[in-house]
Structure 1
Amino acid sequence: MKLRILAAVLAAGVSFSFGPASAAELEVTHWWTSGGEAAAVAELAKAFDATGNKWIDGAIAGSGGTARPIMVSRITGGDPMGATQFNHGRQAEELAQSGLMRDLTDVATRENWKDIIKPSSLLDSCTIDGKIYCAPVNIHSWQWLWLSNAAFKTAGVDVPKNWDEFVAAAPALEKAGIIPLAVGGQPWQSAGAFDVLMVAIAGKDVFNKVFGDKDEAVAAGPEIAKVFGAADDARKMAKGSNVQDWNQATNLVITGKAGGQIMGDWAQGEFQLAGQTAGTDYTCLPGLGVNEIISTGGDAFYFPLLKDEEKSKAQEVLASTLINPTTQVAFNLKKGSLPVRGDVDLAAANDCMKKGLDILAKGNVIQGTDQLLSADSQKQKEDLFSEFFASAMTPEEAQKRFADIIASAD
């Protein structure tokens, strides 16, 4: 993406005033459109509206893969929104380097973000050349297996305690007419499931060598071969899902039509909206019940440079509002994610959120692949696993292609 010449043109004439903010309308784009997500984003809108400004919702249906190109196109095309969601990591890296995104360092310094945002890797992912370009709003971990207690009761088997027990229960689920594993058709879902399997089966160190160090030899080695074997089990268990969106797959679990789903903790919002209770109606296994580790990915808001002075002031107010402790609690309780602040009261957290908080407190964390890989490398990985889950590609062939991707990854 060649943005730098365009950035110079668009940035011309942009100026900021950092006095007290006046009321302004800000269009905020995001891809939170499922029921649980909509309930959570409403909390952000309510908090911002309470400042006297107005949140203009710019939800884009689909997923991040659908929404991000639209967001980037608007920013580079001279039609920027007031704020936009991206995942923690490198998705907006070139936009910031090209001078198209607002520097939030003054706000972050004034409000001591470096002291209150935990873990520090969240703010590190917002930092480019020493400047802070985004406001993290949550910690979302991919490392979860969600299980329908009703499905296993129908199948006459105990609710599994780990991945191996889940695989062993698959035949009983199938005999009862239940899909063992729900996986939607969006490429990021199968790629994310593979990442979760890697941490559970090969461990944290191997995960970091592959995605952090870009170690081709490890990616082509025996530990990752075991992960591809598990991924082969997963795709066999997922036959019959026949859904596209992640929340449709989650609904299969909620309704007992599927035994389980590997999905990030944002799935909790869907269970909550359906009136289900953690530990009673559904079971959550962090790290697939094998390695209790969570990834510290999630969502952050970036602020494109604007020519409108009042809207520029309102951007500061929104950035501050997103980090506000009251906003953090209200939003994350509905989103199913963990707060980015370590000083907030989450007494109302459910059993699954408490498990995540405990793992976070112990420091059993890894960075997400959005933080470790460029958007281009991430897309290559997603395309591979989308094809793998939808075809008869052998695990050996898939591993070879995976190692090639890691070898050229940045």
Structure 2
Amino acid sequence: MKRRVILAATTAMIGCAAYAEDLEVTHWWTSGSEAAAVAEFAKAFDATGNKWVDGAIAGSGGVARPVMVSRITGGDPMAATQFNHGQQAQELVEAGLMRSLESVASADGWRDIVHPASILESCEIDGEIYCVPVNIHSQLWLWLSNDAFETAGVAVPNNWDEFVAAGPALREAGIQPLVIGRQPWQASLAFQTIVASVAGPEAYGKVFGDKDADVVNGPEMEKAFAALATAREMTAGSNVQEWNQATTQVINGQAGGQIMGDWAQGEFAIAEQVAGEDYTCLPGLGLADIVSTGGDAFYFPAIDDPEVTAAQEELARVMISPEAQVAFNLKKGSMPVRGDVNLDAANECMRKGLDILANGTVVAGIDQMLSPDAGNQLADLMVQFFNEPGMSVDDVKASFIDILEYDS
């Protein structure tokens, strides 16, 4: 890694040189709002005298993660890399390829400031912290275009049932009722959201957490599978690939709605749309006051260089600092991991999420309950279901149970 010598004014006065590091940071944040958000981290880190070297990898996490893992295991590690909350980096940690942040976390009291505690627990292996969580992303949202419903001559829905009822009017007006991109993870996200919202948080936990096949075959999940079939009907004609392309269709009124995580509101923000006026956000599909605790964290590969190690610790501290937490999350559309920051600038949708986080029902993100392999299998199953109109709900149910049994 390139090392630069920076003479700060104070050190110049006493004739000492302060060493700074260029740290390559890999991530998959490439949409407009994501790039604006990650720039806040870069700016804050650069202000320390170090240098953020951006290593964005185009595509979703499913595309980027294998590249990141290959570099780390192949002896060409970056200085820091993004993963989601959960088990994605566990094997790397167990192989001794990632460095512990326990000394930083303990010294700075991370266990006292990160809320809910389960977020930081996702970073903990054998009692030590191995990552810095940077946000809380709830996947369980429905985003609606107010203009689309006005064009169709129907009221903006308050929940999933009203949205489904408005579908024919949207079609008649030449508007795509529900848009979902063709990446497998988007179809999986829609299913997870439907399970949590339609079957309910208790069933969601028993299905994904306990891997309970009896619940999968039960009446609550029957409602969820029926809603999944309806979602497939409403997405017929959807022809976009990336999630942010789907969000753009909602922003432009070409689509009525999108099931997507709260990062979608970052795209609404850079389009200068106002929550409650131009678009409507419904956590739990408007059926339940519920959010999930997914999100992103950064891990730091073990590099045998004390100067790099010191800069990695500085970056970890920057990412969880109150100032960077606010600046980053306001642009990302996610919620801060700190419970002690000022969010007066939060919009209506972020406030909904924060209120539920404080007073409503909070469930674990899917990456915290399924192994990466099982998560990929689920994504493949769901994209198959959405792309094959002849695939029955019974076929999906049987395959889903197989995945849960495999992951048990």
After TM superposition, the score normalised by the length of structure 2 is 0.95
Who is 2:95 aligned against?
98
CA distance in 2, matches of 1:222, 1:356: 28
Deviates more, 1:152-161 or 1:361-370: 361-370
Deviates more, 1:89-98 or 1:305-314: 305-314
Amino acid at match of 2:354: L
Matched, 1:215 2:215: no
Who is 1:238 aligned against?
235
Conservation of the 8 A alpha-carbon contact between 1:145 and 1:288: yes
Shift of 1:308: 2.7
Residues paired across the two proteins, number: 391
Where 1:280 maps in the other structure, the secondary structure is coil
Who is 2:80 aligned against?
83
Amino acid at match of 1:242: N
Where 1:300 maps in the other structure, the secondary structure is strand
CA distance in 1, matches of 2:218, 2:360: 28
Who is 2:391 aligned against?
393
1:103-131 Cα deviation digits (max 9, x unpaired): 00000000000000000000100001111
Who is 2:252 aligned against?
255
Q: 2:202 aligns with which of 202, 205, 224?
A: 205
Who is 2:354 aligned against?
357
Who is 1:409 aligned against?
407
5+ long unaligned stretches in structure 2? 1-16
Conservation of the 8 A alpha-carbon contact between 1:140 and 1:297: yes
CA distance in 1, matches of 2:191, 2:19: 47
CA distance in 2, matches of 1:232, 1:212: 23
Percentage of matched positions with identical amino acids: 65
Where 1:122 maps in the other structure, the secondary structure is helix
Conservation of the 8 A alpha-carbon contact between 1:22 and 1:314: no
Conservation of the 8 A alpha-carbon contact between 2:293 and 2:363: yes
Amino acid at match of 1:293: I
Q: 1:185 aligns with which of 172, 182, 187?
A: 182
Conservation of the 8 A alpha-carbon contact between 1:198 and 1:224: yes
Shift of 1:309: 2.4
Shift of 1:361: 0.8
Who is 2:274 aligned against?
277
Shift of 1:363: 4.6
Conservation of the 8 A alpha-carbon contact between 2:83 and 2:296: yes
Give the 5 Å matches for 1:117-128: 117-128=114-125
Who is 1:6 aligned against?
none
Shift of 1:407: 1.4
CA distance in 2, matches of 1:397, 1:25: 51
Residues 172, 390 of structure 1: alpha-carbon distance in 2 compared, 3 angstrom cutoff: same
Give the 5 Å matches for 1:374-389: 374-389=371-386
Shift of 1:225: 2.1
Who is 1:12 aligned against?
none
1:52-81 Cα deviation digits (max 9, x unpaired): 000000000010010000000000010000
Deviates more, 1:214-223 or 1:107-116: 214-223
Matched, 1:150 2:159: no
Where 1:28 maps in the other structure, the secondary structure is strand
Amino acid at match of 1:148: S
Shift of 1:178: 0.3
Conservation of the 8 A alpha-carbon contact between 1:225 and 1:396: no
Query: Which has the bigger relative contact order, CA under 8 A and spacing at least 6?
Result: 1
CA distance in 2, matches of 1:317, 1:333: 22
Shift of 1:307: 2.2
Give the 5 Å matches for 1:163-182: 163-182=160-179
CA distance in 2, matches of 1:399, 1:223: 13
CA distance in 2, matches of 1:249, 1:114: 37
5+ long unaligned stretches in structure 1? 1-19
Q: 1:291 aligns with which of 281, 288, 298?
A: 288
1:150-202 Cα deviation digits (max 9, x unpaired): 00000000000000000000000000000000100010001011010011111
Who is 1:135 aligned against?
132
Residues 378, 56 of structure 1: alpha-carbon distance in 2 compared, 3 angstrom cutoff: same
Amino acid at match of 1:93: Q
Amino acid at match of 2:205: N
1:202-226 Cα deviation digits (max 9, x unpaired): 1111111111111122123332222
Where 1:23 maps in the other structure, the secondary structure is strand
Where 1:41 maps in the other structure, the secondary structure is helix
CA distance in 1, matches of 2:264, 2:75: 35
CA distance in 1, matches of 2:18, 2:145: 48
CA distance in 1, matches of 2:371, 2:30: 25
Matched, 1:160 2:161: no
Give the 5 Å matches for 1:14-33: 22-33=19-30
Where 1:217 maps in the other structure, the secondary structure is helix
Conservation of the 8 A alpha-carbon contact between 2:138 and 2:294: yes
Shift of 1:25: 0.4
CA distance in 2, matches of 1:300, 1:91: 10
Where 2:239 maps in the other structure, the secondary structure is coil
After TM superposition, the score normalised by the length of structure 1 is 0.94
Amino acid at match of 1:409: D
1:278-332 Cα deviation digits (max 9, x unpaired): 0000000011100110001100000001123211110000000000000000000
